[in-house]
Amino acid sequence: METPLQAPNQPSESLRRQVRSAILWRSGTQILGQLIAWTSTFVVIRLLSPSDYGLVAMTGVVLLLLSMLNGYGLANAVIQHADVGRREIAQVFGMLLLLNGGLALLQVLAAPLVADYYHEPMVAQLLRVQALLYLPTPFASLAYALLARTMEFRRQAQVNLLSSVAGAIAALVGAYGGLGVWTLVLAPGVLFYTRAIGLTIAARSLMWPSFRFAGAERLARFGGLVAASGLLNFAQSQADVLIAGRWFDAHQVGIYTTALFLTQVFANKFVPPLNEVAFSAYARLHQSGGDMAGAFPGAVRLVMLAAMPFYFGVAAVAEPLVHVMLGPKWLEAVPIVQLLAIAMPCWTLQTLFQPAIDAAGRPGVTAGTTAIGAVLLPVAFLVGARYGIAGIAAAWIVAHPILLAIVAARALPVLGVPPGRYLRAIAPPVLAAAAMALLVFATDGALPVLPPVARLSLLVAVGAVTYLGALVLFAPASVREAIAMVRARG
């Protein structure tokens, strides 16, 4: 009988140390990697045009749609099931190869149809080249799963840092070399391939795939549920760009998607690595009968302590921020940035539920809530589009609080978390950040005319002091909890 590759069943204190180490490595290198990536990104934004970003945003909808089928759920199944054997891992690798090869071919064939939908012939050329991005996915996904099973995030973090540097260099070379929109294809390509090679070496995961799938039904079933949830999530997460690309030209779409990029920096760059660690930790807790009801609110509170000042701060300093980070030609994005930044806390809170629900073996709950969002959000964006590109941004503020309430109502009972406990977890950072934003707005209105850099620096300093002061005065327990996590006493 085959010996399963057991995930170590270690005591709670050991798991805490592993989680802390994983967060520090994953988040620490993520911050360093993103500082490098952001430096190159904001340089490239100044060199390229809004139309370039609009075209790539249009292709990005297709990439994200097909990536929902790339087998990410199969990799999660390897993590979630404690008794996966070598034979099943080889079967997962075979599935990943077939899926991603098929997706690459499908994208090439669909490219002309997508270009016709957007009325942009260039979209077809971009999609054909971007099909190459699917080829390294099986290698990266399998290696990631094997490392995550044992909470080995240190090597993952090192590889991610290396790939971020490689992607940043490629972006700068492309932009200064005059590649234009192709810069935005070259950079992620270099990042994806570098990451796949690095993770495969780190995990020593190169193996012969198996294309005989008998006995892998449970992994395929779990992966299918995650993929179904992902497809429904696509409908709600990309409906805005899909609708905007049809109603507005590439310039306006570029303005909107760049504003979205600026406001989603925290949620897109820092929350995903935290969720990766959280999924592995929640899975271990679930397998050992641990207290997920106690772990989840604390994890949410710690994430929102960092997220809330970012979102409300971006809304408060949008004009000098856009001027400094993107340049004067992007100033028409300021009202879009403000609207989106106000809506981002609700969106971030939604994403924090998925790793806990999936780790509890209930991906169907996530699929159900995303199905609701797949109807609610497109309708909101269609209505908003009637009022211009800013109307689509305003739809975020209307629809996402409603969707968050629905998600919480369905997910909290599964995790055993009372609604009052959840609200008490998020209240301190929300209230402190709101007070910070009000004071920053008032300060900005009282300032004399200053250069954008000086104005932004002063407002950021006022915001930081206000936020930290509000937390220390009114939520000292949250501050102590965050410090204890860093010092390994929590």
Kindly state the tokens that stand for 260: 């979205």
**What is the predicted pLDDT for the residue at 168?**
87
Distance in angstroms (rounded) separating the CA atoms of residues 428 and 303: 12
User: CA torsion sign, 128 to 104 to 351 to 152?
Assistant: negative
Q: Which residues contact 17 (CB under 8 A, 6 or more apart)?
A: 488
Please state, in angstroms and as integers, the Cα–Cα distance from residue 310 to each residue in 258, 394, 484, 486, following that order: 17, 19, 22, 20
**What is the predicted pLDDT for the residue at 4?**
41
For residue 357, the surrounding DSSP H or E stretch is helix 334-359
In 195-222, which positions are buried (b, 16+ CB within 10 angstroms) versus exposed (e)? bbbbbbebbebeeebbeeeeebeebbeb
Please state, in angstroms and as integers, the Cα–Cα distance from residue 244 to each residue in 118, 124, 138, 240, 465, following that order: 10, 18, 32, 6, 38
**What is the predicted pLDDT for the residue at 328?**
85
Q: Does the predicted model carry a pTM greater than 0.75?
A: no
User: CA torsion sign, 390 to 391 to 393 to 397?
Assistant: positive
**What is the predicted pLDDT for the residue at 82?**
55
**What is the predicted pLDDT for the residue at 6?**
41
Kindly state the tokens that stand for 483: 């410090």
Q: Which residues contact 188 (CB under 8 A, 6 or more apart)?
A: 133, 167
Which amino acid appears at position 112 of this protein? P
In the DSSP assignment, the letter for residue 49 is -
Total residues belonging to the chain: 490
- Kindly calculate the radius of gyration of the chain based on its CA atoms and give it in whole angstroms: 22
In the DSSP assignment, the letter for residue 132 is G
User: CA torsion sign, 251 to 252 to 253 to 259?
Assistant: positive
Instruction: Report yes or no: 446 and 489 within 8 Å, Cβ to Cβ.
Output: no
**What is the predicted pLDDT for the residue at 336?**
93
Q: What pLDDT tens digit does each residue of the chain (490 aa) get?
A: 344 444 444 445 555 555 555 555 455 555 666 666 667 777 788 788 888 888 888 898 888 778 777 766 666 655 555 556 677 777 778 888 888 898 899 999 999 999 998 888 999 999 999 999 999 988 888 787 777 666 566 777 778 888 888 888 998 898 888 888 899 899 989 999 998 998 888 878 777 877 676 655 555 565 565 666 566 666 667 788 888 888 888 888 888 988 888 888 777 767 666 665 565 566 666 655 666 666 778 778 888 888 889 999 999 999 999 988 888 888 888 999 999 999 999 988 888 887 777 776 676 677 677 778 878 888 999 999 998 899 999 999 999 899 989 988 888 887 788 888 888 888 888 999 999 999 998 998 888 888 889 999 999 999 999 998 888 887 777 667 666 655 554 4
Q: Which residues contact 348 (CB under 8 A, 6 or more apart)?
A: 266, 267, 271, 303, 304, 307, 311
Distance in angstroms (rounded) separating the CA atoms of residues 489 and 33: 27
Kindly state the tokens that stand for 315: 């809304």
Distance in angstroms (rounded) separating the CA atoms of residues 111 and 469: 53
**What is the predicted pLDDT for the residue at 288?**
59
Please state, in angstroms and as integers, the Cα–Cα distance from residue 313 to each residue in 182, 322, 454, 462, 463, following that order: 33, 13, 16, 10, 7
Kindly state the tokens that stand for 461: 């300093």
277: Cα within 13 Å, side-chain hemisphere: 28
Calculated CA dihedral for residues 7, 11, 16, 18, nearest 10 degrees: -40
For residue 345, the surrounding DSSP H or E stretch is helix 334-359
